[in-house]
């Protein structure tokens, strides 16, 4: 799978841009603030129908305009796919595949598999558990449509149960929504648990490659209230507390991932280099896992990936992504074109530079 062309209109700081891409490595270079990352975000939008930076669609319209549109031409399984995503302040969001509008935008997820490695990934360390659950569910949803459906059903039931808890609780209504919470929550729990068990060896392999076999032992642990008790028991046990708090205090919406180096917290004790190595390995392992599951080579976006890494780790990452046949089309942002050329030319001459002014 690859992106052949991208057209951007009124998206963030870009009035209009059009790109035609090479099959392998495409580089966006320019000073900070010129919009390199915004081009990557346009590609992300076309895969997931949302930004990886601004969750509200209207925040991505260029100042002074009423709409934005993104059009991508893709080659998927030797077939050409035209994807158009637009957002209008008055009409809302539209997503079309080959000029036909989707009935459900969620049906699009998985068609254009994509992984991004970005400075935004630091949220996985320092933000709340919702960011880490988002990583889990995004990883699963790109190859398992059933997981995405279960997640949507669970969130809908959770929203309804919380609404009821804010009033005088109706037991019959509560029981109806709790059935949905329990059945879908168990699906999410089992999927997440299995994913981490299967994913962990891949993650450890990539961490070792990036750190060049440094004597660091990374740890990635899935933590859930369902490890100890079934969802049905948790809801029953915490019912009075939920009534007082007026929201659901237990369930898989409280799940988390614990990141460590050895016995120490990555968040509190890891160096910047270790943190970036950990997060990069996490995303590259996700790429490999998705490739194995889908049979496609996802598009790989690398946003400012070589910043804050020592030369050894820069070389290890470059060698890994440029020499391993598992990786297909790659998009890279960097502030210094000459430095980036030096990194790339050690491994390949198959790249193209796009200067963003």
| Pairing status of strand 351-355 against strand 25-29 | parallel
Q: Hey, what CATH class is 1-113+299-357 in?
A: alpha beta
Domain spans in the chain, listed from the N-terminal domain onward: 1-113+299-357, 129-295
CA dist., res. 320 & res. 199, Å (int) = 18
Instruction: Please name the fold of domain 129-295.
Output: Glutathione S-transferase Yfyf (Class Pi); Chain A, domain 2 (1.20.1050)
Which structure tokens are listed for 193? 């648990």
pLDDT reading at 325 higher than 80: yes
Residue among 156, 172, 323 at smallest CA distance from 248 = 156
Do domains 1-113+299-357 and 129-295 share one topology? The answer is no
Give CA separation, 27 vs 41, 118, 137, 145, 353, in Å. 14, 15, 29, 32, 5
Percentage helix, strand, coil for the chain under 3-state DSSP, each rounded to 5? 50, 25, 30
pTM: 0.92
pLDDT reading at 296 higher than 70: yes
Q: pLDDT tens digits for 98-152?
A: 999 999 998 999 999 999 999 899 999 999 999 999 999 999 999 999 999 999 9
Q: pLDDT tens digits for 158-178?
A: 999 999 999 988 889 999 999
């Amino acid at each position: 799978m690859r992106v052949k062309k991208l057209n951007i209109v009124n998206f963030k700081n870009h009035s209009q841009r059009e790109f035609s891409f090479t099959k392998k490595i495409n580089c966006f270079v320019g000073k900070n603030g010129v919009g390199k990352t915004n081009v990557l975000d346009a590609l992300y939008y076309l895969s997931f129908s949302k930004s990886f930076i601004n969750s509200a669609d209207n925040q991505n319209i260029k100042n002074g305009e009423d709409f934005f549109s993104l059009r991508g031409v893709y080659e998927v399984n030797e077939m050409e796919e035209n994807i158009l995503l637009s957002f209008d302040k008055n009409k809302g969001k539209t997503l079309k595949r080959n000029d036909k509008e989707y009935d459900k935008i969620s049906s699009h997820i998985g068609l254009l598999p994509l992984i991004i490695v970005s400075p935004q990934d630091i949220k996985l360390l320092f933000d709340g558990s919702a960011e880490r659950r988002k990583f889990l569910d995004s990883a699963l949803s790109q190859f398992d449509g059933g997981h995405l459906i279960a997640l949507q059903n669970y969130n809908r039931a959770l929203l309804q149960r919380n609404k009821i808890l804010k009033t005088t609780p109706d037991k019959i209504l509560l029981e109806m929504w709790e059935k949905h919470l329990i059945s879908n929550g168990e699906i999410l729990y089992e999927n997440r648990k299995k994913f981490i068990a299967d994913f962990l060896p891949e993650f450890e392999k990539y961490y070792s490659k990036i750190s060049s076999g440094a004597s660091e032992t990374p740890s990635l642990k899935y933590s859930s209230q369902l490890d100890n008790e079934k969802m049905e028991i948790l809801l029953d046990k915490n019912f009075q507390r939920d009534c007082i708090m007026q929201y659901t205090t237990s369930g898989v919406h409280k799940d988390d991932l614990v990141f460590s180096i050895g016995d120490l917290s990555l968040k509190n004790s890891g160096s910047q280099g270790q943190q970036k190595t950990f997060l990069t390995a996490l995303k590259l392992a996700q790429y490999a896992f998705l490739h194995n599951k889908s049979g496609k080579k996802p598009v790989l976006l690398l946003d400012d990936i070589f910043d804050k890494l020592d030369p050894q780790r820069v070389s290890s990452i470059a060698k890994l992504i440029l020499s391993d046949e598992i990786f297909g089309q790659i998009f890279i942002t960097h502030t210094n074109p000459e430095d980036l050329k030096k990194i790339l030319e050690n491994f390949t001459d198959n790249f193209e530079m796009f200067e963003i002014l």
